[in-house]
Structure 1
C-alpha cells in the first residue's frame, strides 16, 4: 500500500536517482548538471530546517520502495511573498500515470494549508502535458506563460505558471 511520509536520510539515494533522471532525461528540471548525494543531503537539510516538508511516496518494504518525492519552499525571498510557496513533485518513470504524483501533490497542498500558506505556485515546462493535466485536475489555474525563458538540450523552453489558492 502506498504511503506518503516525510523523507528521511535513508531515502536520499533514491531521491537523488529520481532527481538526476529528470535532470538528464527531461525538461522537468531546467538544470543540466547531475547532483551528488551531498547536494541532496544539503537540500533536505535546508528544506527541513526552514520548516518546509519533503515528502516521499513509499510503496512499502524493499529496495525500490520510494516511487516519488515532493516538496515546497519559498516562492520568492521577500516578506510580501511569505504566504506563497512554490512546489515540485517528481516520480519514477515506472510510477508515472499511477496516481503517485497526485497523492504527493495532495499531501503538499494539505501541508501548505496546515502552515497557513495561501497560495501554491508551480512552474512547468509547457511541453509537460502530463504535469499540466495533473495540476488542472487538482484545481490549479494557469496564470502565466513565459515563452523562451529557458533552454535545455539545445532548444528554447516555455514556462507555464500555475497557482492554487489554498
Structure 2
C-alpha cells in the first residue's frame, strides 16, 4: 500500500524548528547544500517571514502521521531588478520520508505557487549534481541548462553544480505584467 500524499500548505514561522532540523541533516550528511553550518531556528523563521513578506512561496509537506516531511521555497534567482520574474527553487525532504513522493508533491505545488506569485521561469541549482534531484526536476519538465564542474568542496570531494530550468505560465512568450 502506497503512503498517502502529504498535505502541502504554506509554512509559518512556527514550522521553523522542524524545517531547521531537516536542513541541518542535509548540511551535515548531504551535498545538495554547500552550507557547512546549519541555519538556526531563528534564521529559518526569518527566512520564512521574508518569503511571506515578499509574496514568494514557502511550503511545507505534512506527513500523514503528523510532522513536517519536507519543505520547499522559491526565491528570486538574483537580487537585480531584471531577475524579478526568475526564481530558484529549494526542496528538502526529511531523511525518514525519502522515496515517498514528498519531493514530487512539494515541487508540483511550488511550481503552481511560484507562477501565482508572478514568476515566469524557475531555475534548479542542484548542488552536488544529486541524481535524485536531477531526476525529480526532469520529471517535472525541467531541462538541463548547464553544469559547473568542481564548484564546491564538501565531504572530502569536489562537487559539480547542475542547472536546470522550466518556464512558468507564459514563460518568455510575453512580457511580464
Same-fold status (TM-score > 0.5): yes
2:117 aligns to what? 115
1:50 aligns to what? 54
2:35 aligns to what? 31
Residue 19 of structure 1 and its aligned partner are, at CA, apart by 0.5
Residue 104 of structure 1 and its aligned partner are, at CA, apart by 0.4
Which residues of 2 match residues 71-82 of structure 1 at below 5 A?
71-82=73-84
Classify the secondary structure of the residue corresponding to 1:102. helix
Q: 1:159 aligns with which of 145, 151, 161?
A: 161
Would you say the 8 A contact 2:31–2:154 is kept in 1? yes
Q: How high is the TM-score relative to the length of structure 2?
A: 0.88
Q: What per-residue deviation string (whole Å, max 9, x for no partner) do you get for residues 99-128 of structure 1?
A: 110110000100111122110001113441
User: Runs of 4+ in structure 1 displaced over 6 angstroms?
Assistant: none
Residue 37 of structure 1 and its aligned partner are, at CA, apart by 1.2
Classify the secondary structure of the residue corresponding to 2:78. coil
* In 1: Cα distance, 2:47 partner to 2:13 partner: 11
Residue 61 of structure 1 and its aligned partner are, at CA, apart by 5.9
Which residues of 2 match residues 10-159 of structure 1 at below 5 A?
10-60=14-64, 62=66, 65-159=67-161
Would you say the 8 A contact 2:152–2:159 is kept in 1? yes
Q: How high is the TM-score relative to the length of structure 1?
A: 0.93
* In 2: Cα distance, 1:9 partner to 1:60 partner: 21
* In 2: Cα distance, 1:40 partner to 1:106 partner: 23
Classify the secondary structure of the residue corresponding to 2:153. strand
